[in-house]
Amino acid sequence: MADTAITAAILVIGDEILSGRTKDKNIGYIADYLTNLGIDLREVRVVPDEEAEIVAAVNALRSRYTYLFTTGGIGPTHDDITADSVAKALEVGIDHDPRAVAMMQERYAPGELNEARMRMARIPFGADLIENPISKAPGFIVQNVIVMAGVPSIMQAMLDAAAPRLKGGARMIVETIDAHGLAEGNYASELTIIDKEHPLVSIGSYPSFTGKGFRNQIVVRGKDADAVALAAENVRSLVARLTGDGAPA
């Protein structure tokens, strides 16, 4: 399974996330999106608006995963240094890209396209542009790095634009089994055995607090439909037996 997996990482760039000023809404969205594409999100990092930090994270992540998605830092202000940092990480040049300038000219009158806004047309050499239907300044794909805006509505539009250019993987098949009031501690030992018996699937147990108490769900995930179905059946039998036995919640 591992040798053919399409993998990904996300790099969120921005002081405002680390200070708590802005609450990230992109990680969860991209995670769902990639799962639907059959791409395994394997790691996420958040780093500040500092070139050395961005360069180091870009290089660590792009070398390890099929794709690296970045969000944030592609606006017109001095703290928007993602494009230049990615170019530096990849050791490619960067300059105003005529295609990006043309996109910007759709939005800005000649007098409005000042030096700061022209920063948004700085694109690493060799990149493909990602259209931005909302505010025009494009994202880009360079090698295996997909560079997107941080504003969620723009990021989402860019992800839609980029997705057709990505290799999809085998879709993950997921079965969720409600533990029907069982506490994790009541099924954990036997769940461990089921997990070991089914090496093609991963099994997780997820407590959540609903306000009325804890709710546990057991999730079976894998790319082999038969393996997932069999493991899920074993989990369902376990839950039925334990609830039937009147085990304490």
**Positions 157 through 216 that interact with a second copy (CB under 8 A):** 172, 174, 184-189, 191-192, 195-196, 202-209, 214
Q: How far is the CB of 143 from a second copy (least distance, A)?
A: 22
Residue 18: Cβ within 10 Å count: 14
Residue number, 15 or 131, with CB nearest to a second copy: 15
Amino acid (one-letter) located at 59: N
Q: Select from 13, 26, 49, 123 the one that contacts a second copy (CB under 8 A).
A: 49
b/e map of 200-211 (b: 16 or more CB within 10 Å)? ebebebeeeeee
Contacts of 89 (CB under 8 A, 6+ apart): 54, 55, 58, 59, 62
Cα(89)–Cα(85) distance, integer angstroms: 6
Residue number, 143 or 202, with CB nearest to a second copy: 202
Contact range with a second copy by CB under 8 A, out of 37-45, 140-148, 163-171, 237-245: 37-45
3-state SS, residue 145? strand
Does residue 133 bind a second copy (CB under 8 A)? no
- Scanning residues 73 to 102, which ones bind a second copy (CB under 8 A)? 75-79
Does residue 125 bind a second copy (CB under 8 A)? no
